């Protein structure tokens, strides 16, 4: 059995049965559990399944979204979001990325702040509906289900027509050499397009992302104004970033 064939088999299984039990699949196909686990790990990295103890489950944006809406935002993200929200001046124009941290920023914006928010996330646009003074501009395009944001050519094109004072970007990896990274190429391109349209770009990264890198680069450090994080300011990685000239905004 070819590796790619196995991969398809797993995805089909996931679609048909709604779950994968590593042990059963290994026994069924006559291969080792290690291979199954490796495949699942890869699929999960690509956002095609959700890895859980014992196997995998389908990525369920509904559940994620549902959980994100109801769950108390983790403390770290909350702190980062508060600091980020403080960067937005009255009357300012903000480009806000998608993702849970950015959503926390949207919620952290003062309810009566008169500003303009440009976003490619329908979730964030919806969250800002109860900010009566905020002008919301939505960037359209094909919705990328994994992270629930508009991506692709149309979205990038739409982004070309806006300009902003500040861009707040969420990423999955923050690494001194690799720069800012994320797990999907389309998303990386979109974030790049957003950052290019703002005078200043600040990155939102809770501490667990510091020192890690994902597959696709978003931006090098030269194009980033600063990093907003709850990580220890004396952390080795943070110190390295400071040496690179990155402004560090501590959230704690």
Interaction residues for DNA, span 44-103 (CB under 7 A): 51-55
**Number of shown-chain residues binding its own copies (CB under 8 A):** 55
Q: Of the candidates 154, 185, 199, 236, which one interacts with its own copies according to CB under 8 A?
A: 154
User: Could you tell me if 109 and 115 are in contact, meaning their C-beta atoms sit under 8 angstroms apart?
Assistant: yes
Burial class (CB in 10 A: 0-12, 13-18, 19+), 251: buried
Query: How far apart (Å, rounded) are the C-alpha atoms in residues 179 and 172?
Result: 11
What number of residues does the chain have? 252
The continuous run of DSSP H or E covering 228 comes out as strand 226-229
Site string for its own copies, 28-57 (x = CB under 8 A): ------------------xxx-x-xxxx-x
The continuous run of DSSP H or E covering 118 comes out as strand 116-119
Nearer to DNA, 41 or 242 (CB): 41
Strand order in the sheet with 20-21: 20-21, 55-57, 50-52
The one of DNA, its own copies, none whose footprint includes residue 33, by CB under 5 to 8 A per kind, is: DNA
Interaction residues for its own copies, span 82-121 (CB under 8 A): 120
Which part of the chain contacts its own copies (CB under 8 A), choosing from 129-137, 185-193, 222-230, 237-245?
129-137
Closest to 235 in 3D by CA, of 215, 200, 214, 206: 206
- Per rule CB under 7 A, is residue 215 in the interface with DNA? no
Quote the crossing angle between the two packed helices 3-17 and 22-29, to the nearest 10°.
Answer: 130
- Per rule CB under 8 A, is residue 236 in the interface with its own copies? no
- Per rule CB under 7 A, is residue 160 in the interface with DNA? no
Q: Of the candidates 33, 75, 135, 223, which one interacts with its own copies according to CB under 8 A?
A: 135
Which part of the chain contacts DNA (CB under 7 A), choosing from 33-41, 122-130, 144-152, 220-228?
33-41
Closest to 19 in 3D by CA, of 43, 63, 55: 55
Which part of the chain contacts its own copies (CB under 8 A), choosing from 132-140, 167-175, 183-191, 243-251?
132-140
Query: How far apart (Å, rounded) are the C-alpha atoms in residues 47 and 206?
Result: 20
Closest to 200 in 3D by CA, of 234, 249, 145: 249
Query: How far apart (Å, rounded) are the C-alpha atoms in residues 200 and 249?
Result: 14
The one of DNA, its own copies, none whose footprint includes residue 27, by CB under 5 to 8 A per kind, is: none
Please report, as ranges, the residues that interact with DNA according to CB under 7 A.
2-3, 6, 21-23, 31-35, 37-38, 41, 51-55
Please report, as ranges, the residues that interact with its own copies according to CB under 8 A.
2-5, 8, 11, 19, 21, 46-48, 50, 52-55, 57-63, 65-67, 69-72, 120, 122-123, 125-126, 128-130, 132, 135-143, 145, 148, 150, 154-155, 158, 161
């Amino acid at each position: 059995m070819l590796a790619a064939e196995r991969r398809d088999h797993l995805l089909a299984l996931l679609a048909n049965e709604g779950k994968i039990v590593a042990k059963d699949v290994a026994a069924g196909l006559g291969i080792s559990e290690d291979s199954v686990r490796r495949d699942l790990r890869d699929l999960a990295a690509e956002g095609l399944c959700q890895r859980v103890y014992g196997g995998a489950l389908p990525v369920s944006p509904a559940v994620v979204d549902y959980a994100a809406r109801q769950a108390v935002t983790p403390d770290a993200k909350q702190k980062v979001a508060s600091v980020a929200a403080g960067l937005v001046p009255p009357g300012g124009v903000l480009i806000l990325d998608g993702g849970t941290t950015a959503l926390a920023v949207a919620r952290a914006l003062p309810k009566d702040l008169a500003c303009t928010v440009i976003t490619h996330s329908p979730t964030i646009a919806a969250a800002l509906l109860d900010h009566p003074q905020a002008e919301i501009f939505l960037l359209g395009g094909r919705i990328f289900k994994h992270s629930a944001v508009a991506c692709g050519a149309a979205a990038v094109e739409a982004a070309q027509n806006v300009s902003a004072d500040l861009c707040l970007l969420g990423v999955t990896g923050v690494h001194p050499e690799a720069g800012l990274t994320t797990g999907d190429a389309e998303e990386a391109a979109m974030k790049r397009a957003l950052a290019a349209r703002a005078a200043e770009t600040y990155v939102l990264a809770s501490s667990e992302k510091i020192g890690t890198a994902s597959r696709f680069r978003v931006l090098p450090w030269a194009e980033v104004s600063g990093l907003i994080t709850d990580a220890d300011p004396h952390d080795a990685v943070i110190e390295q970033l400071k040496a690179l000239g990155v402004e560090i905004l501590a959230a704690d």
